[in-house]
Amino acid sequence: MKMRNVGALVLAASTTGCSAMAPVRENTAAIRRTNETVSRNTMAIEASTKTATALLPALENVNKLEPPLRSLTALDPTLTRLAGLDRALTHVAAFDTTLTRLAALDTTLTTGTRLEDPLSRVAGLKDSLAILSALRAAPSARV
């Protein structure tokens, strides 16, 4: 009876062993595929990390631009008001030729202002000149 049990046990073990090997092979293949996938993902993460590391100086430079950009945006109200002066400045620019000619009169006007005192004195002679003029006209009437 013992022999019979041993034979049954050997038969059962050999039958079970063959049928248990197929799932082990399938699991081993699945584990191999998983390891390959993990290896590819690791390489992709390493490449991504290198790219991000290469971008770091550029990102730091962008951060350095923040204060100047804030200062520039603070100018917006001033620039908006300045842009509103466009029509007025266009009108002023239209006076360029006139103002240039007026500036050319500077020497003439300066010379004219020097004549103010002599002309004031001549104007003060108005009454005397009127009398003189009357005297000149009178003798010609007597002749």
Return the pLDDT at 22.
87
Return the pLDDT at 42.
96
Return the pLDDT at 140.
57
pLDDT tens for the 143 residues of the chain, in order:
555 665 555 555 555 555 678 889 999 999 999 999 999 999 999 999 999 999 999 989 999 999 998 898 898 898 888 888 888 888 888 888 888 888 888 888 888 888 888 888 888 888 888 888 888 776 555 54
Return the pLDDT at 103.
83
What backbone phi and psi angles, to 5 degrees, belong to 75? -80, -10
Secondary structure, 3-state, the chain: CHHHHHHHHHHHHHHHHHHHHHHHHHHHHHHHHHHHHHHHHHHHHHHHHHHHHHHHHHHHHHHHCHHHHHHHHHCHHHHHHHHHCHHHHHHHHHCHHHHHHHHHCHHHHHHHHHCHHHHHHHHHCHHHHHHHHHHHHHHHHHC
Torsion, Cα of 67, 72, 76, 81 (10° steps): 140
